[in-house]
Structures are given as C-alpha cells and as structure tokens.
C-alpha cells in the first residue's frame, strides 16, 4: 500500500464532467427538433396508411373488373349464336310448312324452295356470312379460292374458268374457300 494521499480531481476533469452533464439535459432546440421528427413520422405513417388503403382498393377494383370481364366473355361464348339461330328460325318454319303440303306440284315445290333459299341467304347476310362466287375470268385469289383443277384455256394463266362450289366468309374471315377450276399457263 502506498502512503500517498489521494489528490482531488483536477480542474480539467471537472470541466469534462460538467460538459457531459450539459449534454444529458436537452435544450429547447433539441426538444423542438424531436417534436418535429415525431410530427414528420406521424405524417409519414398517415400517408403510408392512406397509400396502403388506396392500393387495396385499386387491387379490389382490378379483381372485380377481371371477374366481370370473365363473366361477359363466358356469356358472349354461350349466347354467340343466339342472333344467328334467331335468323334461321323463319327458314326452318318455311321448310316445315313446305313439307306439310301433301299434293304440291313441282312448280309449287320449286317456288317454295326458291323463297326458302332467299330467306336463308338473307339470314346469312344479316349475320355477315357472305358468299364468295368468283365469275369466269376473275383473277384466282388463293386466300378466297381453292383450285380443284387446272384446265387449258384461252384466258390468262391463273384465271378462274369455272365455279364448282361457292365459298363463304364471315366478317372478312374465310369459312370455306370457293372451289374453282383455273386456267393453265400457255
């Protein structure tokens, strides 16, 4: 053990100790800064909650719109032929009425068939089913015509010589190409 007496703390130590005490006690500017940070935090939390709510609502709206679109597509597929079927009913009625006549003459049958054919063509046209019937001399179009045979002819090569069967398109889409004979190259 040492016989030296303990020395009191130095003035420098007292000054350092005192400055630490000053740091521990907040000043008015520190309190204002803290209050401002807390206010900013509260505002950001409120904005975050608002954006989260908007996100959930937008997500629900998108899901509802998707579900409605799926329902509409399903109904469109289910009832797509409704208009077409409605147009065909008078044609079916005419055919049935013609078959009920027991003693019809050949002329009556012919007239009834022609009237029914006119009804059928009108019904098809109302539903955008259009006949493709190229005339002799028309240029062969592979997008609308199907060449069944190539025959020698005085016409220019790749020209329609004869129509074997009408084709049909629906809204500019080919359902069935017209069957034609085409002139051979000379």
CATH classification at residue 179 = 2.30.22.10
Among 63, 78, 93, the domain-final residue is 78
Residue 176, domain member (yes or no): yes
- pLDDT tens digits, 48-95: 999 999 999 999 999 999 999 999 999 888 888 888 899 999 999 999
User: Looking at the domain assignment, is residue 69 inside a domain?
Assistant: yes
To the question of pTM greater than 0.75 for the whole model, the response is no
Question: Is residue 50 included in any domain, yes or no?
Answer: yes
Residue 94 lies in a domain: no
Q: Is residue 124 part of a domain?
A: no
Q: Of 99, 185, 175, whose CA–CA distance to 144 is shortest?
A: 175
Average pLDDT, the chain: 88
Paired with 33 in beta bridges are: none
In whole angstroms, what is the distance from residue 113 CA to residue 139 CA? 32
Q: What is the 3-state secondary structure (H, E, C) of 46-76?
A: HHHHHHHHHHHHHHHHHHHHHHHHHHHHHHH
The pLDDT of 107-131, averaged and rounded, is 94
Is pLDDT at 112 greater than 90 in this prediction? yes
Q: Tell me if 116 is assigned to some domain.
A: no
Cα angle 48, 53, 58; round to 5: 125
Confidence band for 28, pLDDT divided at 50, 70 and 90: confident
Domain boundary among 58, 78, 98: 78
pLDDT given at position 77: 85
Query: How do residues 127-168 score in pLDDT, each as one tens digit?
Result: 999 999 999 999 999 999 999 999 998 889 999 999 999 999
Domain that holds residue 150: 130-186
Domains identified in the chain, total number: 2
Report residue 10's pLDDT band, with 50, 70 and 90 as the boundaries.
low
Please give the pLDDT value at position 62: 96
Domain contains 100: no
Q: Is residue 95 part of a domain?
A: no
pLDDT at 30 over 90: no
pLDDT at 175 over 90: yes
């Amino acid at each position: 053990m040492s016989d030296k007496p303990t020395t009191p703390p130095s003035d420098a130590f007292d000054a350092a100790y005192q400055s630490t005490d000053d740091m521990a006690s907040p000043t008015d500017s520190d309190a204002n800064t803290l209050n401002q940070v807390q206010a900013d935090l509260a505002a950001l939390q409120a904005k975050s909650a608002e954006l989260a709510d908007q996100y959930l609502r937008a997500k629900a709206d998108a899901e509802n719109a998707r579900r409605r679109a799926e329902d509409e597509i399903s109904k469109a597929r289910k009832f797509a032929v409704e208009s077409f079927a409605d147009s065909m009913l008078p044609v079916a009625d005419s055919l049935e009425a013609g078959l009920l006549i027991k003693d019809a003459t050949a002329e009556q049958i012919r007239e009834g068939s022609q009237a029914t054919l006119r009804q059928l063509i009108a019904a098809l046209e109302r539903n955008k089913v259009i006949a493709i019937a190229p005339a002799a001399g028309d240029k062969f179009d592979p997008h609308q015509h199907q060449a069944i045979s190539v025959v020698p002819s005085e016409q220019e090569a790749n020209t329609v010589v004869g129509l074997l069967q009408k084709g049909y398109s629906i809204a500019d889409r080919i359902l069935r190409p017209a069957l034609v004979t085409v002139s051979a190259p000379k």
